[in-house]
Structure 1
Amino acid sequence: MAAEAAPPFFAESIVFLAATVVAVPLAKRLGLGSVVGYLAAGAAIGPHGLQLLGSGEDVLHVAELGVVLLLFVIGLELDPQKLWRMKRDIFGLGTAQVLLTGTCLYAAARLAGLQHATALVAGFGLALSSTAFALQILQERGQLSSPYGQRAFGILLLQDIAIVPLLALVAILAPGPGPTTFANILSEISIVLAAVAGVILTGRYLISPIFLFLAASRAREVMLTAALLVALGSAGIMHAVGLSMALGAFLAGVLLAESSFRHTLEADIEPFRSLLMGLFFVAVGMSLDFSLVVENWMIVAAGVGTVMILKGGFLWALSRGTGSPNSDALRIAVTLPQGGEFAFVLFTAAVSNSLLDYQTANLLNAIVIITMLLTPVACIGLDTLAARVKARGVENPSIETFEEAAPTVLVIGFGRFGMVVAQILTSEGLEITAIDNRPDRIAYARKMGYQVYYGDATRADVLSAAGAGKAALVAMCIENYKVMGKAIDLIREGFPETLIFCRATDRAHMLDLTKRGVDFQVRETFESSVVFGRAALEALGTPLDRIDQIEEDVRHRDEERLAVQLSEGIYAGKDQLHRVTPRGQRRKGKQDAPAE
């Protein structure tokens, strides 16, 4: 009996997975990062390599969803207030970089013999950096939230916005039947504004109630489906009116940044984002034509050098001129000198509109890809230089700076216990993030002025998204000791340096937490009982010094009993329970030390 035909793209999927499994770990072992591994894998299996796969264009259309999901996740990490604080970096620094770099690259293209329209598209297309590439590098290094990482992100965000007028520029420069009328322009602007308003209103007033309803069902797959629907739906709306899909997804993410479901959304989207981002870079690598690069190696080499030196120089100068220290300016310069994925979109549109011929577009694409490959090398070079300077004992803040981050606390469980803990921590000015899996508690906490996020503490991805890796301390305030035990194991495995403070519901729970080696634990019933007993003795006329003596003795006997129970079981240690504290005596070990 003949075997049935394999599903579509089955063989291609196996080739893709096998190539990435080999190339990505090798690239990371060499210190080049996972992105270079994906690019190398695509170049090896593509039509210009081993020819195991055909053209990367079809794959690229699907893989571009990875960029969309990446911008959605980044948007989740920014609230509107924080985005507004970045306006100088976005519209000032970012705009200046695109205009200066694009103008100089345009002049270089003109000197190379390109026509005016062609040089304009090439120059400003190469002025755009790769959002996907640079953010991947920043995330892998854990520096996206650093000052220079935030400035780099502001520049990248402006470049994503800039693709819209650049695509319009291609349409204007293209030979056409006649000029566009003012009425048509006004109509297009109205449609765009209506789409943006629709996304904003939906994200602000409808999404959170919908997720609150879905969370009550406790069906994780439904929450996952809803998360993808929000990200891709907002991207689709923007794409329908001619804007960038990635920009639409980013806007939706920003609007949900203040939502209680922010961390769960991020954790649900992350696996799809990672897989599609890898596919995106593989598709880019597949488009690298080695024969074309070899035949025109001098042109490609000159283009790569010009782009990286000009863009890096402007990035450094503009960053320094707008207040960044030299160390941050250098890191921005070596993180963003590459060409970007939107250059492929721009060059493809230019070919379709007869502004670029096929060979010139391929040469420009090759320049973009090679600048991507060289960017991790530049980052490693700067790190090596900084390490050598530090090894010599030279204090050189122009190369390296160190900042102490303010301690943060992750509160897990926001019931009556967690709310009091949060009140104490925030009274000291500490930054807290709180998660809970009960929508009613989240709603109540919001009414009380607390920002609590929906999240399952037994999921490692949710803990990571909520900041367990960055937190100095995790406060376990939940009642379910099984959930707490699993969460403790996940934190100990993934974030071993994080302090774990736990609420114990009873004596057996406290014994279990002791065996798990948590850093601090407290039985809520024990402490409240001690306070209750003190108040009762005081009301009955017992002197305060006698009450203090009794409390000290009770606490000591409780510790002794716990030590016995750890080795002999929960029913051991009865002798420590019923004993009258002798009057006028301190317990053994607490006598005043003799004078020396």
Structure 2
Amino acid sequence: MEGFLLLATIYLTAAVIAVPIAARLGLGSVLGYLLAGIVIGPVLGLVGSETQDLQHFAEFGVVMMLFLIGLELDPRALWDMRDRLLGMGGMQIVLSTAVVMAGAMQLGLVWQTALAVGMILALSSTAIVLQTLTEKRLTRTPGGRATFAVLLTQDIAVIPMLALLPLLAVKEKLSIAPDGSLTRHATQQATEGHGSAISVLAELPGWGLALVTLGAVVAIILVGHYLTRPLFRFIHASRLREMFTVVALLIVVAIALLMIMVGLSPALGTFLAGVVLANSEFRHDLESSIEPFKGLLLGLFFMTVGAGINMAVLFADLGQIIGLTLALMIAKGLILYGLAVLFKLRAGNKWLFTLALAQAGEFGFVLVSFALQTNVLTQSLGQTLLLIIAMSMLLTPLFFILHDFLSRRVSDTSDSPRDFDKIDEQHPIIIAGIGRFGQVVNRMLQMSGFRATVLDHDLPTIELMRKFGFKSFFGDPTRPELLHAAGLDNAKVLVAALDDSEANTRLVRYARRERPDLSIVARAKDRVHVYELYRAGADHIVREMFDSSLRAGRYVLEDLGLTDFEANEMETAFYKHDREALRELAELWKPGVPLDQNQAYLARASELNKELETALVRQEVASTEEITEGAA
């Protein structure tokens, strides 16, 4: 017990010190965890041989991460990814395996061993890449989605790789010796029983194992679809919050165990379960219960990777290890960039896709371990591969920093797949931005018999609108020449509904300067953005969530016993007071000064809150009197 507490204290202390520093320096949490592991392991020697066992436990964080990713995808979204899963992901694995295999054979390895090395190094790090994409909010970008598709394909590919590795054991193989020379080793064929260690069902005939595997997948789908909802309703009725955590962990652990028993990847199984549960009303409860464990285990995993680096072997042949690592990442990077071009990713997303996946991954540790057990690799070659994998993972956060640098240098025009549309019609109304906000405005106008000139710089959204019969034009609404081509000189109303707050403010400011008589309706992100748009000259400013929040508040009042009339009057009174208050506070707002440091603003805001309470009380009394008079 004492030893466990000491070990936990060492790891937690290292994480608490290193990770915030790395995050403040812009290096990301992953690099912080890796460096913390290096410090407490090879540098200070505070942790030792237990690191490998701890790493197997920490790998469960990857399993949890795939489960949470699955919860974010419904089956239809997964089906829509089939082209990238089979095309982009499949080609990446095949090409990377072939290139690495060719390089290994050039170093003198026999083809069986070279193929094993190729498969091991073709995989990328799901843990590091997805964690970093999430931190940098790049998951939903085209490059992020393409990266995720390849990572998911790699996780699926681990299954046939595990089945193929024992068949690659040879009696003689060449490996890289510590001094850099090639040495021929005599090894035995995989001993009987090693192949079955991966699965308790391995002695079944091929058709039987395939049937059991298919049955396990079907069972996960059926249980997730039909049994989890009654189970969570039962747990919800107990009103014990901790039971949600227990059930969430039970689902993940049980599915992982089932997948291991039938010889499949536990990460794949939990991902599938997550997809099945994506439409469940208890999805957010599952996410909130699993998220803390996922983050803690992933951090521990990264630290064990850093702590497990064998410095003696590394410094004995530092030049060769670094050279092989860089050669691997360059080769994979060239393949990835070629695929990005082939699948028509834009400039910034090309670099994200290329730099994010150029490393080897944590599943490589699993495959190396299994290859050593089945005598596919020698110990010296296995140590070299483990160092290459660890070094490439250590360099990955630096590649993301390089991506950030390159993305800032990529011009907007180079990222456009085609020229802006030529606007061939003009209407009294211009809608700039056709996201969810602009779509509702446009549909309401069309229903009322009015037509608008619609502009947006998001080409996929424009193409989607055209499929539904809504004519719109691709272009940057903040460009003066495009606005004038859309009819700014003669328009009556401009709806500024761009997603980018700064761009929306620039648009309003320019339109007001060009047309002082123009009516401008602007979409605001929050209160501060309201003040910015007010200064820019917008006539009507609508906060994104304000009206929907008002309606929700009205429902709450009705559920508490107020009549429809009373709730409506309270809603109207609040709306009028908030609108008048915003106009007053906008005059006191100072650009660049935080609200909590603007004393005049704070004082007036406090007075307005008291006035709101008085106004609502008066409204409640007035509503009651009206109802009484009506009844009389």
TM-score of the superposition, structure 1-length normalised?
0.69
User: Structure 2 residue aligned with 1:50, among 44, 51, 54?
Assistant: 44
1:251-271 CA-to-partner distances (Å, cap 9, x unmatched) read 110110011111121111100
Alignment partner, residue 173 of structure 1:
168
1:199-257 CA-to-partner distances (Å, cap 9, x unmatched) read 11111111112112222332211111111111111111111111111111111101100
Alpha-carbon shift at residue 382 of structure 1 (Å): 2.8
Q: State the AA in 2 paired with 1:58.
A: D
Matched, 1:96 2:96: no
- CA–CA separation in structure 2 for the residues paired with 1:133 and 1:345: 16
Alignment partner, residue 76 of structure 2:
81
- Unmatched tracts of structure 2, length 5 or more: 170-188, 197-201, 420-431, 446-498, 502-525, 528-542, 582-606, 626-632
Matched, 1:566 2:611: yes
Structure 2 counterparts to residues 443-592 of structure 1, below 5 A? 499-501=545-547, 502-503=549-550, 525-526=565-566, 528=568, 566=611, 569=614
Alpha-carbon contact 2:30-2:128 (below 8 Å) kept: yes
Alpha-carbon shift at residue 182 of structure 1 (Å): 11
- CA–CA separation in structure 1 for the residues paired with 2:272 and 2:609: 58
Query: How many residue pairs are counted as aligned between the two chains?
Result: 460
Distance 1:19 1:504, change over 3 A: same
Matched, 1:230 2:251: yes
Q: What's the % identity of the aligned pairs?
A: 37
Alpha-carbon contact 1:288-1:369 (below 8 Å) kept: yes
Alpha-carbon shift at residue 170 of structure 1 (Å): 1.2
Structure 2 counterparts to residues 385-404 of structure 1, below 5 A? 385-388=406-409, 395-397=413-415
1:149-180 CA-to-partner distances (Å, cap 9, x unmatched) read 11111100010011111111112223247899
Alignment partner, residue 334 of structure 1:
355
Alpha-carbon contact 1:131-1:156 (below 8 Å) kept: yes
Structure 2 counterparts to residues 53-202 of structure 1, below 5 A? 53-55=47-49, 56-174=51-169, 175-176=189-190, 184-202=205-223
Alpha-carbon shift at residue 504 of structure 1 (Å): 8.1
- Unmatched tracts of structure 1, length 5 or more: 1-5, 410-423, 430-469, 473-490, 511-521, 532-550, 581-596
**Equivalent residue of 2:92, what SS?**
helix
- CA–CA separation in structure 2 for the residues paired with 1:98 and 1:278: 27
Alpha-carbon shift at residue 62 of structure 1 (Å): 1.1
Alpha-carbon contact 1:239-1:245 (below 8 Å) kept: yes
Alpha-carbon shift at residue 573 of structure 1 (Å): 5.5
Alpha-carbon contact 2:139-2:145 (below 8 Å) kept: yes
- CA–CA separation in structure 2 for the residues paired with 1:506 and 1:283: 49
Alpha-carbon shift at residue 327 of structure 1 (Å): 2.4
Alpha-carbon shift at residue 124 of structure 1 (Å): 1.3
Alpha-carbon contact 1:164-1:243 (below 8 Å) kept: yes
1:561-588 CA-to-partner distances (Å, cap 9, x unmatched) read x97972885797699959x9xxxxxxxx
Alpha-carbon contact 1:565-1:573 (below 8 Å) kept: no
- CA–CA separation in structure 1 for the residues paired with 2:107 and 2:359: 20
Alpha-carbon contact 1:505-1:523 (below 8 Å) kept: no
Alignment partner, residue 415 of structure 1:
none
1:542-562 CA-to-partner distances (Å, cap 9, x unmatched) read xxxxxxxxx99xx99xx99x9
Alpha-carbon shift at residue 303 of structure 1 (Å): 1.3
1:105-150 CA-to-partner distances (Å, cap 9, x unmatched) read 0010111122322211111111100111110111011111222111
- CA–CA separation in structure 1 for the residues paired with 2:75 and 2:400: 31
Matched, 1:36 2:81: no
Alignment partner, residue 232 of structure 2:
211
- CA–CA separation in structure 2 for the residues paired with 1:407 and 1:569: 36
- CA–CA separation in structure 2 for the residues paired with 1:121 and 1:504: 61
User: Structure 2 residue aligned with 1:269, among 280, 290, 310?
Assistant: 290
**Equivalent residue of 1:57, what SS?**
helix
- CA–CA separation in structure 1 for the residues paired with 2:304 and 2:240: 35
Alignment partner, residue 14 of structure 1:
9
Alpha-carbon shift at residue 386 of structure 1 (Å): 3.2
- CA–CA separation in structure 2 for the residues paired with 1:133 and 1:183: 36
Alpha-carbon contact 1:238-1:244 (below 8 Å) kept: yes
Distance 1:576 1:129, change over 3 A: closer
1:399-447 CA-to-partner distances (Å, cap 9, x unmatched) read 9x9x9793489xxxxxxxxxxxxxx999879xxxxxxxxxxxxxxxxxx
Alpha-carbon shift at residue 395 of structure 1 (Å): 3.9
User: Structure 1 residue aligned with 2:278, among 253, 257, 278?
Assistant: 257
**Equivalent residue of 1:256, what SS?**
helix
Q: State the AA in 2 paired with 1:308.
A: M
Structure 2 counterparts to residues 424-435 of structure 1, below 5 A? none
Alignment partner, residue 465 of structure 1:
none
TM-score of the superposition, structure 2-length normalised?
0.65
Alignment partner, residue 460 of structure 1:
none
Alignment partner, residue 434 of structure 1:
none
- CA–CA separation in structure 1 for the residues paired with 2:87 and 2:7: 44
- CA–CA separation in structure 1 for the residues paired with 2:226 and 2:116: 40
Distance 1:386 1:251, change over 3 A: closer
**Equivalent residue of 2:8, what SS?**
helix
- CA–CA separation in structure 1 for the residues paired with 2:244 and 2:223: 17
Distance 1:217 1:100, change over 3 A: same
**Equivalent residue of 2:59, what SS?**
helix
Q: Single out whichever of 99-108 and 284-293 deviates more from structure 2.
A: 284-293
Alpha-carbon shift at residue 29 of structure 1 (Å): 2.3
Distance 1:327 1:385, change over 3 A: closer
Distance 1:162 1:405, change over 3 A: farther
Alignment partner, residue 583 of structure 1:
none
Alpha-carbon shift at residue 525 of structure 1 (Å): 3.7
